[in-house]
Amino acid sequence: MQKRMPFLKYAMILSKCNAVTTCAWILLSLFPAEHALFNSSSVQTVHRGMSVNISCNYKPSNDKESFIVELQTNSKLCSARKINNSWIEHLCCNHCRFIWILETVKMVFEVSNLQINDSGTYKCIVTRSIPPPSVTLREERTFVQVTAQPTVSVTHVGAMSGFPMMLCISEGFYPSGLDQMWIRNGEFQNASLTHSISKTNPDRSFTLFSYLNTSDCVNYSCWVNHSSLSQPTIHHMTPTECYRNEALFIDENVWIIAVTSALMILTILILTVVCKRSRRAHHKSPVRMNAAPASDLYCQVEYEVYSMLGDHRPVPCSPVTVRSSPQ
């Protein structure tokens, strides 16, 4: 009886192992073999104008193995074929190239001079075509996020109050999320005191304009924070610059008023000369018409109207006489 107990335990363990193995084979049979070779997606964030390396993480089983490795987005960017331990690169874009690192047996695609439009998912696919049929050995996906830092400037625009209206401009940033606030003497200003306008640029980047109405010249600063920045940036406008801009604005207004006044005076003079010449030409007319009575004038008009219509009717009143004034 004691010898039989270990045998029963062994039989139970073996039956459980067989059940697990069977379940595992059933699960594997539900999916194609190449799907098990896919890697999870990764994310890389780079600044505009920089380069990114996308690895395929596939190591050949031997030096004689032949396959094709491709980099794709919406279209094919680059591909290379390995035949008898040698590589043949073809169909690569100008800003993309294939790198084979022999020491680490690693395949890498380098994409350079990335722009905002290059953001997206990149797929590295390794395919064995010999012997047929074609089999996918590896597929990895890398999402590349291209960011662009804002170019920040602080200036002023004219205001009728005599003090400059502060303007903070953040240009060419991506993605769109950006915080821009005003600081006066070290304290953040209420957002209700500002007016902001944003626009999308042709390269898909963004620009944000932020206006602040002021009534004095103190230390004003524009505080900007964006995901492409390691820390928020602050741009200042000192009271000296504020007063200088105020003086320039006043000078600009004086020039505008002076030029406008000069144009108005010149227009009045021209109109006066034209009117005087017109009156002189009217007084020098050689023939003067005597004013005719109202009844005679009416008869003449009626006579001319019927004549134009081809219906000649007698006019009961006397015709209008035209007399020339004595010279």
* Residue 205 domain flag: yes
Q: Which of the residues in the chain have pLDDT under 70?
A: 1-40, 158-164, 239-258, 282-327
Same domain, 46 and 125: yes
- Note the pLDDT of residue 92: 86
> What's at 290, amino acid-wise?
N
- Note the pLDDT of residue 222: 93
Same domain, 161 and 236: yes
Q: Of 103, 121, 147, which residue is a domain's last?
A: 147
Kindly report the CATH number assigned to the domain that includes residue 206.
2.60.40.10
Same domain, 141 and 188: no
* Residue 177 domain flag: yes
Same domain, 58 and 95: yes
* Residue 125 domain flag: yes
Same domain, 126 and 174: no
- Note the pLDDT of residue 109: 92
Q: Are 43 and 140 in contact (CB under 8 A)?
A: no
The predicted model scores a pTM of 0.58
> What's at 265, amino acid-wise?
I
| Total structural domains within the chain | 3
Q: Of 244, 273, 300, which residue is a domain's last?
A: 244
Q: Are 246 and 163 in contact (CB under 8 A)?
A: yes
* Residue 256 domain flag: no
* Residue 89 domain flag: yes
- The 10s digit of each residue's pLDDT in 255-306 is 566 677 778 888 888 888 788 777 777 666 554 445 445 455 455 545 554 5
What token pair was written down for 283?
A: 């007084």
Euclidean distance between CA atoms 52 and 44, whole angstroms:
8
Euclidean distance between CA atoms 83 and 88, whole angstroms:
8
- Note the pLDDT of residue 90: 74
What lies within 8 Å, CB to CB, of 224 at 6+ separation is: 150, 152, 168, 170, 178, 179, 180, 232, 233, 234, 235
Same domain, 160 and 214: yes
Q: Of 244, 267, 302, which residue is a domain's last?
A: 244
* Residue 276 domain flag: no
Same domain, 107 and 179: no
- CA dihedral 167→168→171→175, nearest 10 degrees, is -130
- Note the pLDDT of residue 84: 77
Same domain, 78 and 185: no
What spatial distance separates the first Cα and last Cα of the chain, rounded to whole Å?
Answer: 163
Instruction: Give the domain range for residue 230.
Output: 151-244
- Of the chain, the percentage scoring pLDDT greater than 70 comes to 65
What DSSP assignment string belongs to 193-258? Answer: GEEEEEEE-TTS-EEEEEEE--SS-S-EEEEEEETTSSS-EEEEE-HHHHHHHHHHHHHHHHHHHH
* Residue 20 domain flag: no
Same domain, 126 and 185: no
* Residue 265 domain flag: no
Same domain, 105 and 162: no
Same domain, 143 and 36: yes
- Note the pLDDT of residue 30: 42
Same domain, 91 and 140: yes
- Note the pLDDT of residue 299: 54
What lies within 8 Å, CB to CB, of 82 at 6+ separation is: 60, 65, 66, 67, 68, 69
- Total residues found in the chain within this entry: 327
